[in-house]
């Protein structure tokens, strides 16, 4: 069983504090710290762990212990919106584990966080128990500064813990989701309006694909524009469909695609699906991928 977990923590400047959290994770058995990185302007760090359910659970609790001790939201400033010391904790199914098991794990960890640290916990995405509280952005709106007022309303009663923020650690959002793909398409034009119109057309909020978040940006140094996206469920909204739609929309403005880029990691199944689509491969099964076959046996 392999679960990925990507805790986002509200500290990106004091490197000793971040290093202590990384060490706390590394001391846990059954989990590996794949990567961590800090953004000083966001004042935020992102940890990437993988392991089995027990290992990932223990590692997240160890991370909470350090974060609650070392981070005080009352003095925290940064560009990125945040609600708590450990701001967001998604569990992601990778191999030999179902989404339902990741949802169970999110609930178990959420209950333990509330119990051990007195931090209120909201469940989000697949673990959400309330359609109005599925999206991270909705839960986080108002941020730490608005939390005391928000959480006292009945519709914002947390899933676990008290109906009041932890004084220094705020609240945490814990849940389960599919692997996220950060995907950018660069257009052979400097017209920002074209990138913005395409982004609006393809994202869910604009009436586009269900699992696409998108925005248009200017890449000043290169004199071109970019449609920057998060694909939040590559099985249901596959990358090739997004690419082809962007290409078609761009053509309507006489613009062509210069290139695209994957930022960070992508599951091999997402690449295989694109190959299947373009090569018109019928009847393909995941265990025909040599590496999958080798892992199974």
List residues binding a second copy (CB under 8 A). 2, 4, 32, 34, 50, 94-95, 179, 239-240, 243, 257-262, 264-268, 270-272, 274-284, 288-294, 297
Is 19 or 265 the residue whose CB approaches a second copy more closely?
Answer: 265
Is 50 or 67 the residue whose CB approaches a second copy more closely? 50
Burial class (CB in 10 A: 0-12, 13-18, 19+), 259: exposed
| Euclidean distance between CA atoms 97 and 1, whole angstroms | 6
DSSP category for residue 222 = G
Quote the least distance from Cβ 148 to a second copy, whole Å: 39
Report which of 143, 110, 113, 144 is spatially closest to residue 124, judged by C-alpha positions: 110
* Min CB(84)–a second copy separation in Å: 27
**CB nearer a second copy, residue 153 or residue 279:** 279
**82 closest CA partner among 7, 182, 1:** 7
Q: Minimal CA–CA distance to 83: which of 126, 36, 133?
A: 133
Residues 6 or more apart from 230 whose CB is under 8 A from it? 180, 181, 182, 183, 212, 213, 214
Out of 42, 76, 80, 166, pick the active-site residue: 80
CB of 141 vs a second copy, minimal distance in Å: 31
Q: Which is nearer to a second copy, 54 or 289 (CB)?
A: 289
Q: Taking the complex as a whole, how short is the minimal distance between the CB of residue 48 and a second copy, in angstroms?
A: 9
80 as an active site residue: the answer is yes
DSSP state of 84: B
In the beta sheet, which residues pair with residue 121?
A: 160, 172
Active site members: 80
């Amino acid at each position: 069983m392999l679960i990925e977990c990507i805790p986002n923590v509200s500290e990106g400047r004091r490197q000793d504090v971040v290093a202590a959290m990384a060490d706390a994770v590394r001391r846990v058995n059954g989990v590996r710290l794949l990567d961590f990185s800090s953004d000083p302007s966001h004042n935020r760090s992102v940890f990437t762990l993988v392991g089995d359910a027990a290992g990932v659970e223990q590692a997240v609790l160890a991370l909470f212990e350090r974060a609650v001790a070392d981070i005080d939201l009352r003095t925290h400033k940064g560009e990125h919106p945040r609600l708590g010391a450990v701001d967001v904790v998604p569990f992601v199914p990778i191999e030999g584990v179902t989404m339902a098991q990741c949802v169970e794990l999110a609930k178990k960890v959420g209950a333990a966080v509330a119990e051990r640290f007195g931090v209120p916990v909201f469940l989000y995405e697949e673990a959400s128990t309330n359609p109005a509280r599925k999206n991270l952005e909705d839960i986080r709106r108002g941020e730490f500064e608005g939390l005391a007022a928000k959480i006292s309303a009945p519709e914002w009663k947390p899933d676990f813990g008290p109906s009041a923020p932890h004084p220094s650690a705020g609240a945490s959002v814990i849940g389960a989701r599919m692997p996220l793909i950060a995907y950018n398409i660069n257009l052979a034009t400097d017209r920002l309006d074209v990138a913005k119109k395409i982004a609006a057309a393809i994202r869910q909020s604009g009436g586009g694909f269900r699992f696409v978040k998108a925005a248009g940006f200017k890449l000043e140094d290169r004199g071109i524009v970019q449609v920057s996206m998060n694909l939040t469920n590559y099985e249901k909204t596959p990358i090739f469909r997004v690419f082809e739609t962007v290409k078609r929309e761009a053509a309507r403005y006489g613009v062509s695609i210069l290139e695209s880029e994957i930022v960070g990691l992508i599951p091999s199944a997402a690449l295989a699906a694109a190959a299947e689509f373009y090569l018109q491969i019928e009847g393909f099964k995941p265990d025909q991928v040599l590496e999958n076959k080798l892992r199974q046996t």
